[in-house]
C-alpha cells in the first residue's frame, strides 16, 4: 500500500520468509516499510491485531487508513493508520475469506468479494466452489453486512488447477 509519506507498506505472514500453512502459529504479521527515495526498509512485527495477513484483501480508505481483511486468519480485519503508525483490530468479516478482493465504493464503504479456503458459506460442504458472496463494510457503523444480491458464483473460473484457484483471485 502506498503511504502519504511516499513509503510503501508491505507484509508477508507470521514469518519473515514463509507463507502460512495449517498448524502455523499465526496471529502476527511481519510488515515492511520501504522508502523508495532512500532505498531503505524497516521491518516491524505486528501482534496487536492477532491477524496473520497472508493473502488478504486491502483498501486505502478516504481518511488514508489502510484496511486489511481476511487472509490466513480468514475473518480478521486490521487497520493501519499512517498518521499515527498504529495498528488496530476491526470488526470481523461475516464470511471467512483469503485470496479475495476489496474495493472502496463511492460512499466510502468497502466491498469484499470472493476468496478461497474453507470454511465456505455455512452449510456448504468443504471442497465445493463458491459461497464467498459479497459483504460491505460501512465506516459509520464499522460493521459488515452480507450482500446476498452479490453472489460470488458468477465469477468462478474454469482454472486448470481446479478448486484451489477457481473461486478466488478477483481483481476489483
The verdict on 73 and 128 lying in the same domain is no
Count of structural domains within the chain: 2
Whether 86 shows a pLDDT value over 90: the answer reads yes
Which domain does 135 fall in, by range? Answer: 93-172
Whether 22 shows a pLDDT value over 60: the answer reads no
Q: pLDDT-derived band of residue 154, with 50, 70 and 90 as boundaries?
A: confident
pLDDT in tens, 44-72: 999 999 998 888 999 999 999 999 999 87
The arithmetic mean of pLDDT across residues 112-121, rounded, is 68
The verdict on 77 and 105 lying in the same domain is no
Q: pLDDT-derived band of residue 6, with 50, 70 and 90 as boundaries?
A: very high
The verdict on 88 and 102 lying in the same domain is no
The verdict on 99 and 150 lying in the same domain is yes
The arithmetic mean of pLDDT across residues 160-168, rounded, is 65
Q: Which three cell numbers stand for residue 74?
A: 480468514
Whole-number pLDDT of residue 68: 96
Of 92, 126, 141, which one is at a domain's C-terminal end?
92
Q: Which of 129, 118, 169 is nearest to 151 (CA)?
A: 129
In angstroms, the Cα distances linking 59 to 14, 167, 171 are 21, 20, 12
- Paired with 29 in beta bridges are 46
Whole-number pLDDT of residue 150: 84
The verdict on 170 and 134 lying in the same domain is yes
Contacts of 35 (CB under 8 A, 6+ apart): 6, 7, 41
Whether 109 shows a pLDDT value over 60: the answer reads yes
Contacts of 52 (CB under 8 A, 6+ apart): 13, 14, 20, 24, 26, 27, 28, 29, 71, 72, 73, 76
The verdict on 57 and 114 lying in the same domain is no
pTM (predicted TM-score): 0.85
Alpha helices in 22-132 (DSSP H): none
Q: Which of 163, 166, 164, 145 is nearest to 154 (CA)?
A: 166
Q: Is 36 exposed, middle or buried (0-12, 13-18, 19+ CB in 10 A)?
A: exposed
Whether 120 shows a pLDDT value over 60: the answer reads no
Amino acid at each position: 500500500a502506498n503511504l502519504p509519506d511516499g513509503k510503501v507498506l508491505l507484509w508477508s505472514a507470521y514469518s519473515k520468509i514463509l507463507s502460512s500453512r495449517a498448524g502455523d502459529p499465526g496471529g502476527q504479521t511481519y510488515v515492511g516499510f520501504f522508502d523508495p527515495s532512500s532505498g531503505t526498509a524497516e521491518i516491524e512485527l505486528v501482534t496487536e491485531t492477532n491477524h496473520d495477513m497472508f493473502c488478504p484483501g486491502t483498501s486505502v480508505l478516504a481518511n488514508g487508513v489502510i484496511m486489511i481483511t481476511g487472509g490466513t486468519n480468514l475473518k480478521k480485519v486490521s487497520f493501519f493508520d499512517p498518521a499515527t503508525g498504529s495498528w488496530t483490530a476491526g470488526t470481523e468479516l461475516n464470511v471467512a475469506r483469503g485470496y479475495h478482493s476489496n474495493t472502496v465504493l463511492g460512499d466510502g464503504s468497502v466491498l469484499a468479494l470472493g476468496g478461497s479456503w474453507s470454511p465456505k458459506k455455512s452449510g456448504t460442504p468443504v471442497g465445493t466452489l463458491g459461497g464467498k458472496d459479497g459483504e460491505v463494510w460501512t465506516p459509520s457503523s464499522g460493521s459488515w453486512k452480507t450482500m446476498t444480491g452479490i453472489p460470488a458464483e458468477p465469477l468462478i473460473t474454469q482454472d486448470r488447477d481446479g478448486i484451489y484457484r477457481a473461486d478466488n483471485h478477483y481483481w476489483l
